[in-house]
Structure 1
Amino acid sequence: MKTNYLYYLGLIAVSIIWGANFGISRWGMDFFSAEIFVFFRFGLAIPVLFLLLYKLEGNIMVEKKDFLKLAVIGIFGVTILEIAVMYSIKFTTLANASLLNVAPWPIFAALFAPLFTKELLTRKVVAGGAIALVGVTLIILGGGEGIDLSSQYMLGNMLALSISLIGALFNLACMPMMKKYSPLKVTTWYILFGTILLFPFTFGGWSDVNWSNLTMPVYGAIVYNVILCTIVAFVLWNLAMSKVGATKSNFFRYVVPAAAAVTGALFFGEPIMLAQILGAAIIMSGLMIIGSERKAARPNTDKDQDPDPLGKSKIAT
């Protein structure tokens, strides 16, 4: 159980990193289009990921028959998901996008988990998830901007909701692959494929970049996105998810809005409301209930055992 709690702490750390990025990325978005900034985030991470993969595992390859699977995961998890996030924010309110992006994601993961894994949805996970959902709703709506379901935001709202569905299926699709390869290897390859398909969306934006005016905060935002938000966060999230299960892991995404609210207060002077503080406390209580669940999945047999947590792949290719 102590080991599991380390994985839960890792999930919380990743959610804090991703939540803080809502504020930090604002510096980069002042100089780059969203498509180019996201391309930098993933593109610059690729050589580092492959270097880490080679150093830790001694080989970088996967079986040829798995290239297509990893490519599909990358297209949905990087290309489509990141573009949908950008346009959902463009076509709806921030409160709408935040709530519809975040809140249904773990619910979709729980509903579709049986299609990809042997995880069981227990009463503790349901109860903890429901409590955490109340907390994340308080954080998002407690900021003062209410939900607006008017027809002018319908496209953005549908995109935001689709993000939760695509993101949940993306996480679940990684689980079978991480029975065969390490989380680091799976992450590296799907980011490569997803970034390749993301590149065409940057056409037309490069000429607008004023490279001479880039400031230290902008460079800092790029480094933060590449090193922490992508390399550290994606690998750590996939590692923890492979150990505790996709259903339980995805409820820890509810920490993201709380971290975003704190970042907004620290860097941009945005007020934190009492309802948001209460929401954060409710989220943590819900996650503690989820984390106390001892059996959310059928115990692994030797055949199904997860890859080594240090990143060593189970097969040599």
Structure 2
Amino acid sequence: MRKIFKAHAAVFSANFIYGVNFFIAKGIMPDYFSPEAAIFFRILVATLLFWAFFIWKGAELIDRKDILRFMVCGLCGVAVNQIMFFKGLNLSTPVNSAIIMTSSPVIVFAFAALLKQEKVSWSRMLGIVFGATGALLLITQKGNALAGLHAPNVWLGNLLMLGNASFFAVYLALVKPLMKKYDTMTVITWVFTFGCVFALPYTGQYLPDVDFPNIPLNIWLSLAFVIVFTTFLAYLLNTVGLQTLRASTVSFYIYAQPLVAGLVNVFLDVETFTLTMLFSFILVCSGVFLVGRKAPLPAKSPVDQPVETT
């Protein structure tokens, strides 16, 4: 029970960071960093941090037969995922981005079910509906308060965010077998290493466009938050959660991100806490419970074969 609680706490903490990140990452683009330049620093520095922690903890070798899966996880979960997220957030608004990101649990569940990693049930489908409803209620209440932010192409930005959610869903489903075989730091370090190999040649070409001498301190601090908290810590927390929880359960916590965004608005005196926020929170928690709980095993008869469960 304690292990399960720690897994849920880790994943919720990661998504709390992601919810705050919508505002912080949006603030550094496009005036100071292009999406590609921000991604370059985010992936490179985070990879170095993972390797430092990995070596300090004690490096673990990986099997040659798993290298291809690590490469695909790095491509989907780091390189393509991050490029689409930053470019989509730059073109759209945090509110629109949050709406699109709520599609991730549905994609994860569908992909994992296709790989026979997840068992379809009415209760888990109902949980998805509860979570989506809670998130959309909160977003609808917020309206277009953030529409004044730089958003030159909302439609394309939303499309890129959908691509981001889809690739991250593929990553969560593919990385699960690696989590059962290797230590947390082994998986996340090698995933980021391959993601770094794929992303840096593309993103590095945008560095000459950055006006480094004129970047203010608050923007550097925002970038540091994106690297240390949103990338290093949040990915690590999600990976810890994946060791115990289903991929669909981990992805389902994305519904907490709009709630966090609403609380940030309250903290900044943009909005006051409302009954709609409270109701949204209850729906999200109920949805997490329904998606995360294990289905009851059917009663066995003398001729029954062993039942495989997830």
Deviation at 1:117, TM superposition (A): 5.6
Contact 1:95–1:141 (CA under 8 A) maintained in structure 2: no
Q: What whole-Å deviation, never above 9, does each CA across 1:57-111 have from its counterpart, x for those lacking one?
A: x2243223322221121111112112222343455565443312x2221111112
Q: Which runs of 5+ in 1 are unaligned?
A: 147-151, 298-317
Which shifted more, 274-283 or 244-253? 274-283
Letter of the 2:15 counterpart: S
Q: Give the 5 Å matches for 1:225-264.
A: 225-264=226-265
Q: Report whether the alignment pairs 1:18 with 2:18.
A: yes
Task: Provide the C-alpha distance between the structure 2 equivalents of 1:296 and 1:42, rounded to a whole number of angstroms.
Answer: 41
Q: Structure 1 residues 236 and 296, CA, compared in 2 at 3 Å: closer, same or farther?
A: farther
Deviation at 1:154, TM superposition (A): 5.3
Contact 2:13–2:237 (CA under 8 A) maintained in structure 1: no
SS at match of 1:42: helix
Contact 1:4–1:244 (CA under 8 A) maintained in structure 2: yes
Partner of 1:72: 72
Contact 1:122–1:296 (CA under 8 A) maintained in structure 2: no
Q: Structure 1 residues 114 and 201, CA, compared in 2 at 3 Å: closer, same or farther?
A: same
Deviation at 1:31, TM superposition (A): 1.7
Q: What whole-Å deviation, never above 9, does each CA across 1:212-263 have from its counterpart, x for those lacking one?
A: 2333322322222222212221111112122111122211111112212323
Deviation at 1:295, TM superposition (A): 4.8
Q: What whole-Å deviation, never above 9, does each CA across 1:265-313 have from its counterpart, x for those lacking one?
A: 435x53357444532332123224445x24589xxxxxxxxxxxxxxxx
Partner of 1:3: 3
Task: Provide the C-alpha distance between the structure 2 equivalents of 1:230 and 1:156, rounded to a whole number of angstroms.
Answer: 21
Deviation at 1:189, TM superposition (A): 1.0
Q: Report whether the alignment pairs 1:99 with 2:99.
A: yes
Q: Structure 1 residues 296 and 72, CA, compared in 2 at 3 Å: closer, same or farther?
A: farther
Partner of 2:280: 279
Deviation at 1:6, TM superposition (A): 1.9
Task: Provide the C-alpha distance between the structure 1 equivalents of 2:15 and 2:277, rounded to a whole number of angstroms.
Answer: 17
Task: Provide the C-alpha distance between the structure 2 equivalents of 1:59 and 1:241, rounded to a whole number of angstroms.
Answer: 20
Q: Report whether the alignment pairs 1:182 with 2:183.
A: yes
Q: What whole-Å deviation, never above 9, does each CA across 1:12-34 have from its counterpart, x for those lacking one?
A: 11100111111122443342111
Q: Give the 5 Å matches for 1:74-153.
A: 74-89=74-89, 94-100=94-100, 102-116=101-115, 118-145=117-144
Q: Structure 1 residues 192 and 7, CA, compared in 2 at 3 Å: closer, same or farther?
A: same
Task: Provide the C-alpha distance between the structure 1 equivalents of 2:116 and 2:241, rounded to a whole number of angstroms.
Answer: 15
- What's the C-alpha RMSD, in Å, of the aligned pairs? 2.8
Task: Provide the C-alpha distance between the structure 1 equivalents of 2:192 and 2:17, rounded to a whole number of angstroms.
Answer: 18
Which shifted more, 160-169 or 226-235? 160-169
Q: Report whether the alignment pairs 1:162 with 2:163.
A: yes
Contact 2:59–2:186 (CA under 8 A) maintained in structure 1: no
Contact 1:117–1:176 (CA under 8 A) maintained in structure 2: no
Contact 1:132–1:254 (CA under 8 A) maintained in structure 2: yes
Q: Structure 1 residues 26 and 112, CA, compared in 2 at 3 Å: closer, same or farther?
A: closer
SS at match of 2:144: coil
Task: Provide the C-alpha distance between the structure 2 equivalents of 1:50 and 1:166, rounded to a whole number of angstroms.
Answer: 24
Q: Which runs of 5+ in 2 are unaligned?
A: 146-152, 298-310
Identity %: 24
Aligned length: 289
Deviation at 1:127, TM superposition (A): 2.5
Task: Provide the C-alpha distance between the structure 1 equivalents of 2:162 and 2:33, rounded to a whole number of angstroms.
Answer: 26
Deviation at 1:153, TM superposition (A): 6.0
Task: Provide the C-alpha distance between the structure 2 equivalents of 1:214 and 1:114, rounded to a whole number of angstroms.
Answer: 46
